[in-house]
Structure formats: C-alpha cells, structure tokens
Structure 1
Amino acid sequence: MPSRDNYTQLTALLLSVAGALLFLSFGYTEMAGSDMWWHIAAGRELLQTKTLWMVDDWSYSALGKDWLNHEWLSDIIFYTWVSVGGVESLVYWKWLVLVATFAILQHVLSRESGSPFAGLVCAGIAMAIAAPFL
C-alpha cells in the first residue's frame, strides 16, 4: 500500500500538471500587441548600435529626438526570438513566460496554504483575472 507521503507527492504532481495545462490554454493566443513591431525593430537597432540611447526615427510626434529605451531587454529577447523562429514563434515565448509565472505562483500558494489544490484554484483564478491583459 502506498504511503501517505507518496500519495501527497503524486497529488501535488498531478495538480502541477493540471496547472501547466490550464496556464497553456490561457496563453494560446497570438502575440498581437499593437506595438510588437516596434519592440522587434528596437531590438534590432539595439543590437546593431550596441547602446540603449537611441534616436526616435519611427514616430511622427518625436521624430529625431533622443530616446532612452527602457524596455531594452524585452526588445532584444523579442528580436532574437523572432530572428531564430519567426514572428509566429512568439506564441511559444508567451507560453513559456505564462507557464513559468503561474507555475511559480501555484507552487508558492500551495506551499503557503498547505494545499496543492488551493494553490491550483487560486493560481487559476489569478490567470483568469489576468487573461484580458495577456
């Protein structure tokens, strides 16, 4: 007969897998941000110029003005990801970030509450609330 610890570990593992599948389902959307092209182009520029300081060549209202790219790391990640896998592959990046973020949340909530099921439910609710912004 399996011990209670083995049963608890198996339950936690199954709930973690259920959480990962749930989080994947919420991330199954296109990367359709209206400024995604800007981030990809900025990533290309950052790697070409090797500086965070840029001149705004892309907007009408600030054309030619100095611009400090405060989103430089994500721009480089997006550009590199697109260079390797194409624009369509950005959905995989989104899945990776979503599953990692909410799996960590599920783990922390499970540990703090003492209940893997409560961790899954609360992380799932958090994901549902965040869904319009993903």
Structure 2
Amino acid sequence: MRMPERIEPVMFAPCGMNCMVCYKHCYHKKPCEGCLMSDRGKPEHCRKCEIKNCVKMQEIDYCFECTEFPCKRIKQLEKSYNTRYHASLLENSKAVKTRGMSVFLKEQREKYTCPKCGGIISIHDAECSECHHKVW
C-alpha cells in the first residue's frame, strides 16, 4: 500500500497509535478504517480493545482527553510499544494534544513513507509494505 498524500485524522487511534502504519492496515487488500470507524477488517484484538471501549464509555475521542491519562491500560500498551517497536504512543498523544492533529499526521507521513518507493513503512516490522525495504 502506498502512503496517501494526507493521513486522515480518523486513522489516529484513541491510544495514540497511528493506524495508517499498523501492519494490519499496510498489508491487507481490505485495510481497516481506523479505530474510530467500523470494526470491518480489524484483527480480533482491535475489535475487542478495552481502550477503544473505554473512550466510548467516557464519551471522549482520545485517551489524552481523560483525567486519568495515562491510565494502567495505556501504560501497559506504552511499555509494549517501547520494548517491541521502539515507539511511544504517549509521545504521539502528547504531540497531538500540544501541536495539533494535522502537524502530527504530517510528521508521521514523512517518518513512515518509504524513501525508495513511497510505500507505507509498518511500525510493527519496520518494513515497507510495497518494496519490503527494511528501514530501521
């Protein structure tokens, strides 16, 4: 999948994940529409996500809008992403809160666009979805 000219805000998950760079989105012919849309095309762990359900119950869009941010669930997810993917969902959330969604998504587009072919670099395996170039 090639990186679009613009990443839509709906691809920013409540937890701070940029769904555009998720391997499930990058490598599937029917990619998911992001956490804030339908569950079509999503893996089971995304469909049953407690964080997504929590923001719905709180009637907010993003975890950083919650008074308990960062909660235990977010801290656990953060630890996993730090360890496994060298990425910070907390930093993503803070960037959106302080600098705005459009600035954050523009930076993400630049960071995760393959320099060789313009494909999407998956955060989960650091590989381009088009040419399979390993980036990091």
Band of TM-score, shorter chain? under 0.3
Higher share of residues assigned strand? 1
TM-score (normalizing by structure 1) = 0.26
TM-score (normalizing by structure 2) = 0.26
